[in-house]
Amino acid sequence: MEEAAAARDRAIDWLVRTQREDGGWGSSSIELFAESGFSVETYYAWQGASHGLAIMALQSAPSTPERLAAFERAIDWMCEQRLPQRGSDWDVDYSWSALYCFVAATRIAEDPRLAGTERLELLVQRGREWWGILERNETPSGGWAYYDDPPYTRRPKWATSFCTAAVAPAIERGMRLGWIEDPGHLERAIRVMERAALPNGAYSYNGSDAVPRAPVGESIDTVKGSLGRIQVCHWARRVLGEPSITNERLRWGLDQFFEHHVFLDQARMRPIPHEGFYANAGYFYLFAHYYAAEVIELLPEDEREAYHAQLRPHLVKCQREDGSVCDFLGSTYTVTGGTAYAALALGLGIARD
C-alpha cells in the first residue's frame, strides 16, 4: 500500500508540475499524425475531457498548499474557457469534454472548500452549461456517445453503454443539486445500460440497439472485450440502486477482469484503436482500472483490500519515471487523462487510511 501511495503522489505531483499558469494542461491542437482525420475542434474537446479528469484527481488527493492552488486554477480554467462545439456532421467528440467536465463539476460543487465562494457560483453556472451540451446531444432513445451515422442529425442517434454509465451517477447528483429538472434523462440512461447487459455477463459497446446482437468469436461484446464496460456499468447501476447488481455480480465482474487482464495488457499503447484481441483498444486500459477501483469500493470493507492489492500492480507498472501514466499514443491529453485515471484508482485503494 505504501508503494501505491507513493505512486499516487507521483502522479498528482506530475499534474501539479505540468499545469500551465492559466490552469490548463496540454494542447488544444493536433500533436500526432496518428490522430489526424478528426475535426479541428475535437482536439480541444479531448483537452477538456482530460482536464475534467485532472480536476477530479486533484480534488481526491490529500491536500497541500501546492495541490490546492493547482485545484483552484484548474476550476478557473474550466469555468473561463470557451465551451466546445460539435466538430462536424459525424464527429461529436465534444461530448467527451461535456461528460467528464460535468461529472467533475457535480463533484466539486459539493466540496466544502468552495462553500460560499464566487468560484462556486461560477462553477455552478458552468456545470449547468456542460449539462446543456449533454442535454442537446442525448440520443432519442437515451444515452451518449461521440459519433453520429448517416443520415446526420442535430441530435446524434448513437449511444454507447460506457459513455452513458460514466455520466449517469452524475446526472442523479445534478438532479439533487437542482441543475436538472427532468428525471427522464436519467431514466433513459438507465434503460441504455439495461439494454446493453448481455446474457454472457458482458455489456455491449453499442447502447442504442433495441435487440443486442449475440457476441461470437472475438467480438468486442464478449467478456474479454468488455472488461472495462463491465466495471463502469456495474458501478453506475449499483450506485443508482439497481437491485440485480449484487455483491456477487460485482465480484464476478472483478474476477473476470483479473482472469482476462492479459487482453488489456496486450492492447495497452498499441497505436491503432481496437487492434488488440477481442477488439480491445489501448485507451481501454486506464479507464477500466479506474472503474474497477470504484467497483471495489462498493464491496464490503473487509473484502476491498484483497482486490485493491490485485489492481495496484497493474497501475504502478505503467507509471513513468516522471510520475505520468499513459495507455495510448502519447499526446498531452492522453497523458493528462491517463495520469488522472491512475491517481484516482490508486487513491481509492488507500483513501480509508
Asked whether the predicted pLDDT for residue 212 surpasses 90, the reply is: no
Residue with cell 457535480: 106
Angle at 22 between CA 18 and CA 28, to 5 degrees: 75
User: What pLDDT is recorded for position 352?
Assistant: 53
User: What pLDDT is recorded for position 209?
Assistant: 83
Which residue ranges form the domains of the chain, and what is each CATH number? 2-27+39-205+217-350 (1.50.10.20)
Where does the pLDDT of residue 216 fall: very low under 50, low under 70, confident under 90, or very high at 90 and above? Answer: confident
Asked whether the predicted pLDDT for residue 71 surpasses 90, the reply is: yes
Closest CA to 168 of 199, 200, 209, 207: 207
For the chain, what percent of residues have pLDDT higher than 90?
95
Which three cell numbers, joined as nine digits, stand for 250? 460485482
User: What is the tens place of the pLDDT at every residue in 267-277?
Assistant: 999 999 999 99
Which three cell numbers, joined as nine digits, stand for 320? 513513468
Asked whether the predicted pLDDT for residue 253 surpasses 90, the reply is: yes
Average pLDDT over every residue of 97-107: 99
Average pLDDT over every residue of 332-351: 96
User: What pLDDT is recorded for position 351?
Assistant: 60
Burial class of residue 68 in the structure, from the number of CB atoms within 10 Å of its CB (0-12 exposed, 13-18 middle, 19+ buried):
middle
Helices first, then strands: H and E counts in the chain: 13, 0
User: What is the tens place of the pLDDT at every residue in 77-90?
Assistant: 999 999 999 999 99
User: What pLDDT is recorded for position 353?
Assistant: 44
User: What is the tens place of the pLDDT at every residue in 109-126?
Assistant: 999 999 999 999 999 999
